[in-house]
């Protein structure tokens, strides 16, 4: 029985939508489709909630919060508070993290059940353009949504053994705090783990092939993060291509093409994630693919009229909230509504390290490419002028990118808690606000959102707490 209905004994059941994969993309599609009155089957081989809830966003953010508490305890005396940092109880940290996951997992299961989604536990496979096979049963649907997500990727010849060479999945369950770690990859995941481990007292070195950490961000944000990481004692090798790893008596020795060798207890491979599509019947049933990704148009339609794909399986931004939005878009389209395509530049991006890096819109480099150098105006507002940031003792900047005499097309922020400011930044970008319009809005004092207000005051030509 699934969701009160015995699908196995009901051969006549044809669902409006069958969704393969119950992660952020799949379950969002299921919830919205059910809300719009469609009958929905959701097939999941593991746990509802997928990567984000169980192995991604939520556990990493719990670890980062524990890391923040560790740092604040160590620095308590700077605020006149007497506290002694005794160390990290890693089992306690895991318990806290797992409790957060368990609570959200329970809530999500309840939500799916209450919307009358037929949840089918099992590994599914696309068996035709209108069916999925699972547990020896054929589930028919007028429409199929592929949402099988992604898994950690490695590079040829680098085997993730789960012991000394690990992926983020292993790192989240590590029952010890290593003395030293090399992290391969300075993107979001690598940088977040570097931040956590440093706060937990680990010696961390990031190896990144590109010239900067968080290389997809505006260069100014990367440089500010690098400065902050240097100050925190997080080491990084940039423009350093990995050439090999060997086991030593106590751990690993990582080599780079430019001749560096770094010894550590562990190597975390954080070079990205690859789509889960092999052997699932996609190609056999005519779905157009590219390097394992399912190709989609702006409405998340594949080349097969009865099949859509959402989330990390599609070659769009690999973020949970993108998965949610794509799932909702598909559900609304299938229900006959007229959803608008997603503007991926308008999706907020946050790296939750200490300090946080948050952005929306396009970088200065991209704006110059699109509009020409003469048409692009930028402004940097230093958080040193922001009372609340000063109280928090955080350093950083907000950088705005504007089309000359036009809208703000990029907001790039670095500093503690800047992820919480990205909501307003996103409204500014997505509503194509002019600096003078944002300057009209009064921001509460003293908040960090005020820094966003002040940056726009300055860009509108009437700076308040800003030095010329």
Query: Binding site, residues?
Result: 61, 124, 148-150, 185-192, 208, 272, 312
Report the alpha-carbon distance of residue 425 to residue 443 in Å, rounded. Answer: 13
Among residues 190, 123, 119, 122, the alpha carbon closest in space to that of 152 is found at: 190
Whole-number Cα distances in Å, 461 to 124, 339, 357, 457, 458: 58, 38, 26, 6, 5
Tell me which residue has tokens 């260069």: 219
User: Taking contact as CB under 6 A, which single stretch among the options 57-65, 106-114, 154-162, 361-369 is the one that binds ligand FAD?
Assistant: 57-65
Among residues 414, 350, 415, the alpha carbon closest in space to that of 189 is found at: 350
- The single residue among 148, 199, 402, 449 that binds ligand FAD, judged by CB under 6 A, is 148
- The single residue among 269, 319, 325, 360 that binds ligand FAD, judged by CB under 6 A, is 319
Contacts of residue 136, Cβ cutoff 8 Å, sequence gap at least 6: none
What tokens were used for 123? 């590994």
Where does 289-334 show beta strands of DSSP type E?
289-290, 293-294, 307-309
26 makes contact with ligand FAD (CB under 6 A): yes
- Selecting among 2, 143, 321, 445, the annotated active-site residue is 445
Q: Closest distance between ligand FAD and the C-beta of residue 262, in Å?
A: 22
40 makes contact with ligand FAD (CB under 6 A): no
Nearer to ligand FAD, 45 or 227 (CB): 45
What tokens were used for 225? 């993060």
As to burial, measured by CB atoms within 10 angstroms (0-12 exposed, 13-18 middle, 19+ buried), residue 250 is: exposed
Among residues 174, 169, 255, 172, the alpha carbon closest in space to that of 207 is found at: 255
190 makes contact with ligand FAD (CB under 6 A): no
Nearer to ligand FAD, 149 or 251 (CB): 149
Nearer to ligand FAD, 51 or 256 (CB): 51
Q: Residues forming the annotated binding site for FAD?
A: 61, 124, 148-150, 312
User: Taking contact as CB under 6 A, which single stretch among the options 40-48, 179-187, 247-255, 456-464 is the one that binds ligand FAD?
Assistant: 40-48
- The single residue among 141, 311, 361, 453 that binds ligand FAD, judged by CB under 6 A, is 311
**Residue 143 is a catalytic residue:** no
The catalytic site residues sit at: 445
What residues line the site for ligand FAD (CB under 6 A)?
A: 20-26, 43-46, 50-52, 55-57, 60-61, 123-124, 147-150, 168, 189, 276, 280, 311-313, 318-321, 323
């Amino acid at each position: 029985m699934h969701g009160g209905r015995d699908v196995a004994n009901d051969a006549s059941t044809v669902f409006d939508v069958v969704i393969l994969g119950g992660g952020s993309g799949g379950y969002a599609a299921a919830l919205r489709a059910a809300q719009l009155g469609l009958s929905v089957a959701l097939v999941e081989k593991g746990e509802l909630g997928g990567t984000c809830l169980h192995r991604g966003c939520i556990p990493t953010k719990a670890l980062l919060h524990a890391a923040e508490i560790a740092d604040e305890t160590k620095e308590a005396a700077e605020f006149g508070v007497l506290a002694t940092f005794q160390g990290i109880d890693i089992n306690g940290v895991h318990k806290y993290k797992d409790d957060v996951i368990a609570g959200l997992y329970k809530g999500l299961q309840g939500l799916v059940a209450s919307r009358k989604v037929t949840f089918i536990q099992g590994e599914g496979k696309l068996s035709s353009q209108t069916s999925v096979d699972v547990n020896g049963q054929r589930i028919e649907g007028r429409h199929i949504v592929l949402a099988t997500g992604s898994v950690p990727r490695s590079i040829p010849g680098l085997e993730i053994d789960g012991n000394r060479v690990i992926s983020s999945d292993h790192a989240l369950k590590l029952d010890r705090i290593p003395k030293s770690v090399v992290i391969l990859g300075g993107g979001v995941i690598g940088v977040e783990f570097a931040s956590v481990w440093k706060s937990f007292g680990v010696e961390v070195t990031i190896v990144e092939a590109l010239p900067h950490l968080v290389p997809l961000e505006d260069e100014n944000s990367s440089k500010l993060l690098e400065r902050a990481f240097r100050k925190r004692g997080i080491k990084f090798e940039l423009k350093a291509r990995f050439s090999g790893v060997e086991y030593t008596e106590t751990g690993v020795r990582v080599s780079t093409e430019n001749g560096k060798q770094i010894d550590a207890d562990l190597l975390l491979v954080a070079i990205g994630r690859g789509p889960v599509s092999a052997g699932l019947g996609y190609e056999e049933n005519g779905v157009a693919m590219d390097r394992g990704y399912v190709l989609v148009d702006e409405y998340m339609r594949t080349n097969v009229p009865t099949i859509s794909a959402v989330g990390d399986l599609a070659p769009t931004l690999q973020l949970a909230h993108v998965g949610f939005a794509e799932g909702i878009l598909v559900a609304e389209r299938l229900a006959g509504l007229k959803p608008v395509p997603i503007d991926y530049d308008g999706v907020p991006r946050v790296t939750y390290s200490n300090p946080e890096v948050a952005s929306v819109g396009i970088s200065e480099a991209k704006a110059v490419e699109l509009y020409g150098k003469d048409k692009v105006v930028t402004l940097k507002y230093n958080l040193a002028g922001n009372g609340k940031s000063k109280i928090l003792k955080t350093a950083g900047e907000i950088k705005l990118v504007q089309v000359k005499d036009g809208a703000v097309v990029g907001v790039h922020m670095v500093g503690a808690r800047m992820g919480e400011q990205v909501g307003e930044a996103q409204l500014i970008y997505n509503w194509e606000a002019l600096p003078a319009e944002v300057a009209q809005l009064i921001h509460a004092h003293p908040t960090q959102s005020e820094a966003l207000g002040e940056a726009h005051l300055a860009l509108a030509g009437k700076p308040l707490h800003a030095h010329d």
